[in-house]
Amino acid sequence: MAQILLLAKHLQDANSVDILPALGLLSHQIRMIPSDASQLTELPSAELIMLDARTDLVNARAMCKLLSGTNQAPILVIMTDGGLATVAGDWGFDDFVMTNIGPAELEARIRLCLSSSHAEEVISSGGIEIDESAYAARLNGNSLDLTYTEFELLKYLVQHPGRVFSREQLLSDVWGYDYYGGTRTVDVHVRRLRAKLGPEYEQMIVTVRNVGYRLAAR
């Protein structure tokens, strides 16, 4: 059973079964949120993202580009026949399904997305482990309860231990070029990450005065 995040344009008019009937016949955990760029700063953790592209193809394409640029869970787009003519490689999704797909094929597509997309080895530094394929972060073997952005920020720092990043660099590389928030967003997320690491490990994320942050390996 996978944790699936379903992004849809008009949540008040539909549920997951209305959007993709076969999904209601499977046992996955489904959470729905609006398909809006403002939601991407704090996406709930998920193993797979489904994006409703049945009606608003312009929004769907923009959301795919934003989601793929942040390198998180694989993206499965829900299409109709009328939308196929607009699909191109630059959308950045991992796979697409038609609304009339059967439950057996849908289950196979989900399984393939989960097994083949963004699978990487576990990276670690100073007792912090990032398992990107399982979308999990651990500190000395204990799971960390992180939001999507907190996970991506910690992963980025763990990938580059000892390297100093300015707030602007972090905004660009973690949040993405299309993010319009200010650099204070970085400070807020660093503060939250430190709190979740706890008093003994919070100083692993070092403030470099007048520059930004780095991860100090232990």
Mark whether 8 and 107 lie in a shared domain.
Answer: yes
CB within 8 Å of 215: residues ≥ 6 apart:
125, 126, 157, 158, 160, 161, 162, 163, 204, 205, 206
Do 109 and 136 fall within a single domain?
no
- The label of the residue with tokens 């000892």 reads 162
- Per-residue pLDDT, 175: 84
The last residue of a domain, from among 118, 150, 184: 118
Residues 156 and 190 in one domain: yes
Domain count, the chain: 2
In contact, 120 and 132? CB cutoff 8 Å: yes
pTM of the model: 0.54
Q: Which residue has the higher pLDDT, 77 or 133?
A: 77
User: Residue 126 corresponds to which tokens in the numbers above?
Assistant: 């100073």
Range of the structural domain that residue 156 is part of: 122-215
Of 44-53, 75-84, 85-94, 154-163, the least confident: 85-94
Long-range contacts of 165-172 (CB under 8 A, 24+ apart): 165/212, 165/213, 165/214, 166/211, 166/212, 167/212, 167/213, 169/212, 170/212, 170/213
Q: Comparing 33 with 115, which gets the higher pLDDT?
A: 33
- 106 and 166: one domain? no
Domain shared by 76 and 168, yes or no: no
Using an 8 Å Cβ cutoff, are 84 and 60 in contact?
no
Burial class (CB in 10 A: 0-12, 13-18, 19+), 39: middle
**Between these two residues, 13 and 82, which has the higher pLDDT value?**
82
